[in-house]
Amino acid sequence: MTKSQCQACGTTFRGIPLMTVKDGKQIEACPNCYKKLDEQYRKTSCIACVFFNSGACELFSTDLDEPYINSATCNFFTTDTNPEAAAKARIKKFEMSGRFEDVAREFEKLGMNNEAEEAKKKAKHQPAPSMDLNELIAQLTNRGQTLTYYCVHCGEPLKVGAKQEPQKTCPSCKYDLSAINLAKLISQHI
């Protein structure tokens, strides 16, 4: 078994180091330091985004592996445990991303029924996202874009969009690709 050195405490230990964050930098840590840093990470997690329970910020789609760096740049970051403060931060985030049904739900939790009704009206007037695969591929083609995705079996990079037709099987391992919801994948990137 290989020996590793903890970048938090400097001790040498047997086993695989665990990735965590210390002082805004990603480090490899021993299990003891990982546990301590994890507790600190939970205390400084954004209440509005619930950073600890998600891999990416719902608003900005940025990776949340480094909470200290993210908290310095996010205008909606809050560690305030007051439910009203967290709800207001979530409302701002949802409004920016056009998620008005979520905005209405948050306003209802706060007992702000007039604001909830306004948000529901905005949600009704918002066009429904297209989920037709051919239409989504046409949008990619019109933009001259190609989306790269990966085979769920072997990891082979696959492409769809301009000059690229969707594949039914992986050209490398011949695995059936019907498990991949291409319409949802494309709609998340348009």
Question: Is residue 49 a part of any domain in this protein?
Answer: no
Regarding whether 64 and 98 lie in a shared domain, the answer is yes
Which residue's structure tokens are 């409004």? Answer: 95
If phi > 0 it is left, if psi is from -120 to 50 it is alpha, else beta; for residue 10 that is left
Question: Is residue 48 a part of any domain in this protein?
Answer: no
Regarding whether 139 and 122 lie in a shared domain, the answer is no
User: Are 157 and 146 contacting, i.e. CB atoms less than 8 angstroms apart?
Assistant: no
Q: pLDDT-based confidence at 46, cuts 50/70/90? A: low
Question: Is residue 14 a part of any domain in this protein?
Answer: yes
Regarding whether 144 and 107 lie in a shared domain, the answer is no
Global pTM value: 0.38
Regarding whether 116 and 64 lie in a shared domain, the answer is yes
Regarding whether 104 and 164 lie in a shared domain, the answer is no
- CA–CA separation, 149 and 166 (whole Å): 10
User: Are 46 and 78 contacting, i.e. CB atoms less than 8 angstroms apart?
Assistant: yes
Regarding whether 174 and 113 lie in a shared domain, the answer is no
User: Are 90 and 106 contacting, i.e. CB atoms less than 8 angstroms apart?
Assistant: yes
Regarding whether 97 and 61 lie in a shared domain, the answer is yes
Regarding whether 94 and 114 lie in a shared domain, the answer is yes
User: How far is C-alpha 104 from the geometric centre of its chain's CA atoms?
Assistant: 22
Q: Read off the pLDDT of residues 109-164 as tens digits, 9 standing for 90 and up.
A: 999 999 999 999 988 887 655 567 788 788 777 767 778 888 877 888 888 887 77
Q: pLDDT-based confidence at 107, cuts 50/70/90? A: very high
If phi > 0 it is left, if psi is from -120 to 50 it is alpha, else beta; for residue 109 that is alpha
Regarding whether 149 and 115 lie in a shared domain, the answer is no
**Residue 76, phi then psi, degrees to nearest 5:** -110, 5
Count of the separate structural domains present in the chain: 3
